[in-house]
Amino acid sequence: MFIVDCDCHNYWCSATVLEPYLDGLWKDMFVRGERTGPVGAFPHGHRPWFHPEGFGRADVQPQTEDDNYLIMKEKHLDKYNIGIAILTGDEPIESSTLANPHYAAALCRAYNDYQIDYWLPKDERFMGSIVVAPQDPHQAAAEIRRLGAHPRMVQVLVSHGAQRPYGDPFYHPIFEACAEVGLPFAMHLGGQGGVNATPIGAGPTTFFWETHALLPQSAMTHMASLIAQGVFEKWPDLYCVIIECGVAWVPSVLWRLDSNYRALRKETPWLKMLPSEYFRRNIRFSTQPLEQPKNVQHLWAVLEAMDGENTLMFASDYPHWDYDDANALHIPAKWREKVMGLNALEVYKRIPRPLAVAAE
Amino acid sequence: MFIVDCDCHNYWCSATVLEPYLDGLWKDMFVRGERTGPVGAFPHGHRPWFHPEGFGRADVQPQTEDDNYLIMKEKHLDKYNIGIAILTGDEPIESSTLANPHYAAALCRAYNDYQIDYWLPKDERFMGSIVVAPQDPHQAAAEIRRLGAHPRMVQVLVSHGAQRPYGDPFYHPIFEACAEVGLPFAMHLGGQGGVNATPIGAGPTTFFWETHALLPQSAMTHMASLIAQGVFEKWPDLYCVIIECGVAWVPSVLWRLDSNYRALRKETPWLKMLPSEYFRRNIRFSTQPLEQPKNVQHLWAVLEAMDGENTLMFASDYPHWDYDDANALHIPAKWREKVMGLNALEVYKRIPRPLAVAAE
């Protein structure tokens, strides 16, 4: 089976790997300036919720920069026969939390150049993400256009923590650039600090485990906002990919959105379909961490209600604490080929279709 | 069948009905002071999302204060053979949005006295709610103790819009008073303005219909917080009732809470059960507005996953725009007696058990 891993984190040991890709004021700030952690930390406004054990898997302990790839190759890419791994970085999406959008944009440019120089040549299976800082949509759009023609950059990536719901017209320059270069807009769990809005309604909550359980709320908001604000009417071919935000909540939100839209659609006369129809056409979810009920049939009923066979795409979240094993993903057997890889080929059109798959 | 309606709104034509129950500074502010609407409006910090048609049913148009009861009797209580209607007021829970907690508490006291004087004597089927302003938990606790022995006051009621997640120790004086007088703690959708926290993660959203679809987020937060902060270990017999916040999202949140708690329980060593076990023992949901999927089996799988037969309680939300008809509630037929009434008798122990039901 052809597997596309839609969320594979390429770590660094130290953010100093970005130094060669920065210059002028930004290099000076990066080398000499204050940051949240010690020298080597990536600048960002840290969440107030601290993971009580750290995010990494205990068995992934790189000692050198090269280890980051070598361990990934051994414990993930080769072990599970991953066909394509879409690199999602790790800290770079946290640039969304910085008050200074110019610095945030410079850090994203540096990361993207480093990713293209250092990571993509390491393995043919790697595809990259153009990370942008959404707090200045115009600089973000410029970065999308700068790198949008690169054949191995397959999506635009931001954190799901944001200053506003992503449907807001403030962000439309980003979607315009995505549409122009033909790339999906992806958001990944993260960015819960600094200048971003509180990620949780009636929050903030207190403990890491309860907070992490509630973080899908921001994704609910973005999904509703992208639909209601008409983003998928303005750019009908745009895919939005929502990564690491859970999936079992999706039908419950779509049912409410559809009911309310039916009753009060006059508020948004630009829409031509039900919210659930925009979802089905334009939005995709990565699976990890797939919810784990006692009775898997309850989950499968929910996944069926969101047409999961066609809207879900496998992700491992390597090498995080709540990693999902590609062999053990608890989805209906007859969905496996689509969810493990074929659905991603529809969304990420730059991924070369393997001969074995093309023949099917 | 014995029907308990857990969310029946007793409206007024004008908040001036509260004048006889206020005195001193509070009466002066109420009569002469600034407020969100015209004279007759209840003081509150209004939401920034405006319902494009208003909240009321088009066929409920009271012209006098007496009409509020007479129309309810005709179009709801008698028509659907409601056995018990728990009054939830309407604007009074919006007192939670006021910056001045002393004024908010005075308004709640006035409403509670008016409710007992005016509404409870009108119909034997009415039971009341002690509305409190949670922004001063000590005054709220005093109000709970002042009225807690009244035989027809069956719950303590707040808005689900709040300054903090309700599990926060700040609010524990309220739960202590609830436990002392033996009443459930109920939260009802509302309070999305003024001093309360943004109700939606990564918000604010823009349109009423999308916002209303997302308002369950605050209830998710409160549910997680009440469990994680150990409220149900401190007060194991306390029921929390969540009103008008939807239900189909509940399993998805419980699945994440259970998974995360299993992995990271060391953060909250005072807990002795899984989050889903506290939910099952201590939390109940009212049904309205029950989600309306294309395929009702998808909803029923979700309701089964939350043991809806035992955790759901019927509510009509009379006379609001999205009212649920007691005869048309789309739940499994064999659950009807429990969900329509018997579950409420377990939670609201002051409701007299009718002879017909007692014999079953």
Tens digit of pLDDT for each residue in A168-179?
999 999 999 999
What pLDDT does residue A175 have? Answer: 98
Q: How far is B301 from chain A (nearest CA, A)?
A: 6
Q: Indicate the residue of B201, B222, B302 with minimum beta-carbon distance to A221.
A: B201
What pLDDT does residue A169 have? Answer: 98
Tens digit of pLDDT for each residue in A258-305?
999 999 999 999 999 999 999 999 999 999 999 999 999 999 999 999
B307 to each of A180, A291, B228, how far by Cα in Å?
48, 18, 21
Tens digit of pLDDT for each residue in A28-58?
999 999 988 888 899 999 999 999 988 888 8
The mean pLDDT of A305-321, rounded to a whole number, is 96
- pLDDT of B354 strictly over 90: no
Q: Indicate the residue of A162, A213, A221 with minimum beta-carbon distance to B257.
A: A213
Tens digit of pLDDT for each residue in B325-346?
899 999 999 999 999 999 999 9
Q: How does B141-169 read in b/e, with b if 16+ C-beta sit within 10 Å?
A: bebbeebbebebbbbbbbbbbbbbbbbbe
- Determine which of A47, A158, A200 to mutate to test the interface with B (most B C-beta atoms within 10 Å): A200
Tens digit of pLDDT for each residue in A61-118?
999 999 999 999 999 999 999 999 999 999 999 999 999 999 999 999 999 999 999 9
**Which among A339, A299, A305, A253 is positioned nearest to B256, based on CA atoms?**
A299
| Residue contact A52–B264, C-beta within 8 A | yes
- The mean pLDDT value of chain B amounts to 96
- Reported as a pLDDT band with limits 50, 70 and 90, residue B137 is very high
Identify which has the larger pLDDT, A231 or B40.
A231
Q: Indicate the residue of B168, B214, B222 with minimum beta-carbon distance to A220.
A: B214
The mean pLDDT of B64-76, rounded to a whole number, is 97
**Look-up of token digits 């027809």:** B152
Tens digit of pLDDT for each residue in B199-232?
999 999 999 999 999 999 999 999 999 999 999 9
Task: Note if the bond before B216 is cis, omega within 30 degrees.
Answer: no
Residue boundaries of the structural domains of chain B: 4-359
The mean pLDDT of A135-153, rounded to a whole number, is 98
Q: Indicate the residue of B221, B246, B261 with minimum beta-carbon distance to A201.
A: B221
What pLDDT does residue B357 have? Answer: 72
- Reported as a pLDDT band with limits 50, 70 and 90, residue B70 is very high
What pLDDT does residue A358 have? Answer: 58
Q: How far is A297 from chain B (nearest CA, A)?
A: 8
CA distance A284 to A303: 12
**Which residues in B lie closer than 8 A to residue A258 (C-beta atoms)?**
292
Tens digit of pLDDT for each residue in A168-224?
999 999 999 999 999 999 999 999 999 999 999 999 999 999 999 999 999 999 999
| Residue contact B202–A255, C-beta within 8 A | no
pTM of this structure: 0.96
- pLDDT of A360 strictly over 90: no
**Which residues in B lie closer than 8 A to residue A251 (C-beta atoms)?**
248, 293, 298, 302
Secondary structure class of A8 (helix, strand, coil): strand
| Residue contact B249–A246, C-beta within 8 A | no
Q: How does A138-163 read in b/e, with b if 16+ C-beta sit within 10 Å?
A: ebbbebbeebbebebbbbbbbbbbbb
- pLDDT of B359 strictly over 80: no
What is the complex's ipTM, to 2 decimals? 0.95
Identify which has the larger pLDDT, B190 or A324.
B190
**Which residues in B lie closer than 8 A to residue A197 (C-beta atoms)?**
198, 201-203
**Which residues in B lie closer than 8 A to residue A257 (C-beta atoms)?**
209-210, 213
What pLDDT does residue A55 have? Answer: 87
Which residue of B lies nearest to A248 if distances are taken between CA atoms? B252
Q: Indicate the residue of B168, B210, B220 with minimum beta-carbon distance to A214.
A: B220
- CATH 3.40.50.2020 is held by the domain B4-359: no
- pLDDT of B358 strictly over 70: no
What pLDDT does residue B148 have? Answer: 98
